[in-house]
Structure 1
């Protein structure tokens, strides 16, 4: 365990009674342990397959604070490597995305193939005299494992991590609401948005994990601007709304069918959803068909979030305990009409972008919530996460841990329990002992 980290802090003493230690958002030692035991160990989202359409297609992204190069290799498979030359450590690719036949380090001219192998070096004659120079051992460092789930590409640095399907577990039932509601699958609409927030990455992730409570207040004016009425008026009652979680992955939702999509203010999107609802019900069942555009939010542990209906997909990339880099894309059905795809893309820009009517509200709140914990005395005061502590239910259709009611803290508690388990467990085998 990292020196200086309080074991009681990591165990989240008091969470079962609804209380959370504020130091989880500010402590530097906790952050360093997160990089080691969460971001260097969990399965992390790194790309959508549509971003790598042909051999040579690549993008660069982050796994924790490790920069990673994700590449479509010549045989059509996908690889991911540390974006760092094994000679002096310089990045071998400085572009965010593109197409290449290979990668060359600007520092000393070492060149690498799409499969990460070292193809050649500048001044190769000099290296030929070195007995310790083994070109086969000097390729780019690959991630330990890479796998996909219905278009989403995940990677992990830990060779002992469970298979991706096991890591996602029962949560795939819910992911299919977005990823498998159409036979043609999904794609990312072109381009992405990147911005920086002065907040702890967990505050943003837990918001998407289950904070429906803030929507009716924080986003009241934004909803009024987009649809002419407040978010609260779109919600369903407790009998038709839920918090569900599995392995720290969280989805809160009601079954109104169109609430999130309606906030984009575009009839083309609404018409598309209504025209396809019967077909989606045949594919996924009536209950999940009603989830496709409903008021909801999702976080795949640790830092991959999205809003069904609004279709904004994002990662919260940690840049220290008080800074987060936000990467945002828009997911659409591959078979959707071009005008519908464009409507979703423009709708996301109007709502969840740095100047969007909803994202500005969230960003300010998250930054102020993080900054307030700077105070020594403030940091000693615990935060209340006790809403809905008695709402667990069994549901005939919904897998995982289910809680009734959309206005609830159940998913945030599940998020921090998984966080705590991972930080206290030195290996995946130790996780069971921390439950």
Structure 2
């Protein structure tokens, strides 16, 4: 395993010419460095505020491979801390979600508050005779927590920049889905969980900018929904935008992705709202609300703005992920529209979904074929769209013409390499 202190993965990338070394998808040492320098360093999505609406509400999830609890405290603060007892390391909470007054480890009965603070231990007087016993040091290790318009993020790095700096001007794009209505957003109750045998970067880079696969990969699924294949003319007005490794690829067609949910009522609902959204966010963002598009917030939080399908690619080793999927909706939408979004996401992007099966098969084979010795020596080409950078007010960030492009994927891997090669956040360039 390489020494993380001196890891320079830039040598594995030639992004100026569009080449990527396959070792980044299977090398165990690189993966361990990712856990340390990306997943223990970056701001990671952990919950939507609607999932922990009242004091005592909690859910369990992961930050990299670190199991964590996300809980709403009695003072309504949001707390994120390791789901591992400070006594013998057992998992403290096994439930996926619920409401609790405290968390009690089932090994020795140690209990912890909604903020992770140590509360008590059975026969605690025995411990109090020990000179090293200090309740203040026995709480569950806490992460920093910040939110953006309903989305909850956490990081274990005390030196990480603020969430506002981490997101940068990418919030302009996030507001397309998070702030197009006065009432804000909420997650539909429930989470779809599944496992895929692929490297976490493969689906993350797919969502950050791979519109190119859709007309081919999803042709049969689109025919099942529409009676025709995916139509994405390469010359229609479309773009890729990236900031700090976060990427959004999009057209300005208005309802392309939303239509794939299979409900005409959703399309009509979005079209009826377009004037109000335009008044709130401007004409360009109003045309992006349901458009053909996909997004990844670096490193592993992705969503489809048109579908409102949100997902996290949790790494489980170099060759496997656990995928968590939700549907997000506007809180003020009619109940029948919310139900259509819920069913539409299950129909398209669930383990049995007509589009998810296409993607999952490709992602698994794109990872597993790297087992071959000779295959590993052949670099992968990411050169599409070189020289396509442009300016188009009011779109901020690094903008590129045509959503059929590898520009966002190149930016994703540049951010990846910068983080792995840096000893601390002071060494990580923005952009």
**Band of TM-score, shorter chain:** over 0.9
How big is the shift at 1:41?
0.1
| TM-score, reference length from structure 2 | 0.98
Aligned equivalent of 1:363: 360
| Partners of 2:93 and 2:105 within 8 A in 1 | yes
Distance 1:368 1:158 in 2: 34
Contact 1:68 1:83 (8 Å CA) reproduced:
yes
Give secondary structure in 2 for the equivalent of 1:60: strand
Structure 2 residue corresponding to 1:422, chosen from 412, 419, 422: 419
- Per-residue deviation at 1:4? 8.8
Q: CA deviation at 1:239?
A: 5.2
SS state at 2:371 partner:
coil
Unaligned stretches of 5+ residues in structure 1: none
Contact in 2 for aligned 1:194/1:325 (Cα 8 Å): yes
Displacement after TM superposition at 1:128 (Å):
2.2
- The residue aligned with 2:263 is 266
- C-alpha separation between the residues in 2 aligned to 1:43 and 1:317? 14
Match of 2:277 among 269, 277, 280: 280
Deviations 1:335-390 (A, max 9, x none): 00011001000000000000000000000000001001111110010000000011
Q: State how many pairs are aligned.
A: 431
The 3-state SS of whatever aligns with 2:239 is strand
Matches within 5 A, 1:168-183: 168-183=167-182
1:291 maps to 288
- Conservation of the 8 A alpha-carbon contact between 1:11 and 1:424: no
- Give me the whole-angstrom Cα distance separating, in 2, the residues matched to 1:416 and 1:13: 8
> Counterparts of 1:116 and 1:138 in 2: how far apart (Å)?
9
| Whole-Å separation in 2 of the counterparts to 1:285 and 1:328 | 29
Q: Equivalent residue for 1:331?
A: 328
**1: CA distance, partners of 2:139 / 2:196:** 35
Matched with 1:216 is 215
Q: CA deviation at 1:129?
A: 1.4
Equivalent residues of 1:306, 1:314 under 8 A apart: yes
1:370-381 maps to which residues of 2 (within 5 A)? 370-381=367-378
User: Which SS does the other structure have where 2:12 is aligned?
Assistant: coil
- Give the corresponding residue for 1:240: 237
Query: Aligned partners of 2:16, 2:46: CA distance in 1, in Å?
Result: 33
Runs of 5+ consecutive residues of structure 2 not aligned to the other structure: none
Deviation at 1:87, TM superposition (A): 0.5
What is the deviation of 1:8?
6.0
Question: Does 2:318 match 1:321?
Answer: yes
* Mapped partners of 2:235, 2:325: distance in 1: 31
CA contact (8 A) 1:9 1:23 kept: no
Tell me how far 1:13 sits from its aligned partner: 3.5
Structure 1 contact 294–309 (Cα < 8 Å) conserved:
yes
- Residue 136 of structure 1: CA displacement? 2.0
Mapped partners of 2:2, 2:157: distance in 1: 19
8 Å CA contact 2:8, 2:421 repeated in 1: no
The question of whether the paired residues in 2 share the 8 Å contact of 1:117 and 1:139 is answered with yes
> For the residues of structure 2 that align with 1:364 and 1:380, how far apart are their CA atoms?
23
Q: Secondary structure at the match of 1:47?
A: strand
Looking at structure 1, the residues matched to 218 and 5 of structure 2 have their Cα atoms a distance apart, in angstroms, of 37
Report which stretch shifted further, 221-230 or 415-424: 221-230
* Counterpart check, 1:387 vs 2:392: no
Distance 1:99 1:423 in 2: 38
